[in-house]
Amino acid sequence: MITDELKTLDAWFKLAINTDKAKYVLYEKIHGSDLTLGEKLLEGVKSIKFLGVTIDECLNWKIHYDPHVVVSKISKSLVVIRGMKQVSPPADIKGLYYALMVLRYGVRQVHRS
């Protein structure tokens, strides 16, 4: 059923899909859920990264906001901000802080532990 829809979309849009890289996530249990495109069987996965956001099969964000990954990314952002303190005026540092910390992670304050 879903494979038929993929064939219809492929024919309608003339899509060029790299079936070696293509994967899919099922957001609900569907019997007989193997998907093929052309003659190629697509790989089913439990989570997928799309436009920089990782979403799992329950439409959950927990994988995207894994604390270990977020702490690592915030630490790298702080290194950039500290490095810029020597060469940039405070207004530029504040803008960089908002771009790297507030917009990405919603972090308003960072405290040293």
CA distance 53 to 63: 9
Across residues 15-26, what is the average pLDDT?
Answer: 76
* Domain residue limits, the chain: 2-56, 67-105
Cα–Cα distance between 89 and 74 in angstroms, integer? Answer: 21
pLDDT for 50 beyond 70: yes
Per the model's pLDDT, the better-predicted residue between 47 and 13 turns out to be 47
Q: What is the pLDDT, as a whole number, of residue 113?
A: 44
23-24 and 43-44 as β-strands: parallel, antiparallel, unpaired?
parallel
For 71-87, the pLDDT digits (tens) are 888 888 888 888 988 89
Are the beta carbons of 26 and 2 closer than 8 angstroms?
no
DSSP string, 3-52: HHHHHHHHHHHT----TTT-EE--SS--SS---EETTEEPEE-SEEEETT
The structure's pTM equals 0.45
Mean pLDDT over each residue of the chain, to the nearest integer: 76
Q: pLDDT at residue 1 above 80? A: no
